[in-house]
Amino acid sequence: MNLVFDIGNTTTTVAVFDGKEKKTLFRTRELSCRSIEKKMSGFHIDKVIISSVRVIPDFILDLLTVDIPFFHIVSEKSRLPFDVDYESPATLGPDRIAAVAGAFEMFPGSEVLIIDAGSAITYDYLSGKTYRGGNISPGLQMRFKALHKYTGKLPLVDETEKHSSPGKDTRNAIAAGVVNGILYEINEYIRTFERMHPDPKIILTGGDGAFLKRQIRHQIAYMPEIVIDGLNYILEYNAE
């Protein structure tokens, strides 16, 4: 069986696959040996893959490199089933590559826009068998925190606060400005992509995807586990 780790900026997702079948999945903000061993209990792990946007904790490496035949960390040296048209592959986030791999497996040969609404919002472009690169912008919480931190009096707001537009008070104005700004951004990315390609596929994922999906005006495929699925695909491809 395959053990898959996606270590993000705030949350780590761990899954166990039997081939393409996902047997278990959990998300946590605090990893520990105990939590990993508990979730692995009852599974015979043959292969492991890790994608991390930060330094991988030593205890994870120590735990997973013992008695597991195949171990892989996603990097620019990973074998991929598609070409990467990116000038600095060493700086390309492994979570972005994993999402593209998941999209490639799901929609082979298609024009795909992958929108990952996490700590940052990434827009990645897959054209047939070539990853064309993408864009990065601040995510929801990053925008709220920036308004609070870099001004003298603006309060810290989050997306759960009810708002209307135009805002009638400061908290309302901030909530509406940030949420609507992101929605305008996402909708325009999608509209432009749809205008350029006759039969595009649009994928939305990421921690804020569930909140944003209800308000996007275009047809999208909401795939919260596309990164994990893509990592399992990369693992199998590199283990061949």
Q: Specify which residues 48 forms β-bridges with.
A: 3, 71
Strand ranges of the sheet holding 70-73, from the earlier edge strand across to the other edge: 21-28, 12-18, 2-7, 47-52, 70-73
- 């605090």: which residue's tokens? 30
To 5 degrees, how large is the angle CA 164–CA 169–CA 171?
A: 80
Strand ranges of the sheet holding 130-138, from the earlier edge strand across to the other edge: 83-84, 130-138, 120-127, 111-117, 201-205, 221-222
234 vs 228: CA distance, rounded Å: 10
Query: Which pair of tokens denotes residue 228?
Result: 């994990």
| Active site residue ranges | 95
Quote the strand ranges of the chain, DSSP E.
2-7, 12-18, 21-28, 47-52, 70-73, 83-84, 111-117, 120-127, 130-138, 201-205, 221-222
